A and B are shown apart, each in its own frame.
Chain A
């Protein structure tokens, strides 16, 4: 059974800092991994999708890496802004497109 852990559980940083969010998963037989953002009381916004054959994906200030064999992914946020404040969720996906979610990292970027 896939288990997903995200570290840290919460993070508070001043505006402008670069930061790294970590995700680890127990079953490396994944097809892809997605990073999402969730604002309070809202649905999920897809940030990045990494296929299992890829090592990283970039979108603007976001960069996600995937080390499938070791069961790890990281989300790097450059030059953080207050608008980045949200909960960040990682979710590895299997053959049936099921996503198993981590518990998330609650990020607060202080102006």
Chain B
């Protein structure tokens, strides 16, 4: 159990367009989901924390108007990169935790390339 699925696994988009990435917990209800970004040869940096039915909490330096997060149900959170630019090209990974369980389960990541 505890499978997190992320879609798409990779996407190429034109500069100025928006891209939506989905993160689903397949076999459990995720009370909290997290979004991370990873640049080449760097570690994962937390972008935001998302709780079902409430606004996401963004880390310092992350533009909330650019990275829109929606957590409409206990099994789905979405990250929309609005007006994407080449510098937004990165590897985006989500994770989810179950209620009362501190272990984090990660999706397989989404490689975003903005051209």
Cross-interface CB contact of A96 among B49, B93, B103, B105, cutoff 8 Å: B49
Cross-interface CB contact of A34 among B45, B104, B108, B111, cutoff 8 Å: B104
B45 / chain A contacts, CB cutoff of 8 Å: 101
Is the CB of A97 closer than 8 A to any CB of chain B?
yes
Is the CB of B42 closer than 8 A to any CB of chain A?
yes
B108 / chain A contacts, CB cutoff of 8 Å: 42-43
- Across chains A and B, the number of contacting residue pairs, with CB separation under 8 Å, is 58
Structural contact, B103 and A99, CB atoms closer than 8 A: no
Is the CB of B78 closer than 8 A to any CB of chain A?
no
Is the CB of A22 closer than 8 A to any CB of chain B?
no
B111 / chain A contacts, CB cutoff of 8 Å: 41
Rounded to whole angstroms, the CA-CA distance of A27 and B34 in the bound complex is 21
Is the CB of A19 closer than 8 A to any CB of chain B?
no
Q: Measuring CB to CB, which residues of chain B are less than 8 angstroms from any residue of chain A?
A: 6, 32, 34, 36, 42-46, 49, 91, 93, 95, 97, 102-109, 111
11 new A-B contacts, CB < 8 A, other than A46-B104, A103-B43, are A41-B109, A42-B108, A43-B107, A46-B106, A49-B102, A51-B102, A89-B43, A89-B44, A91-B104, A101-B45, A102-B43
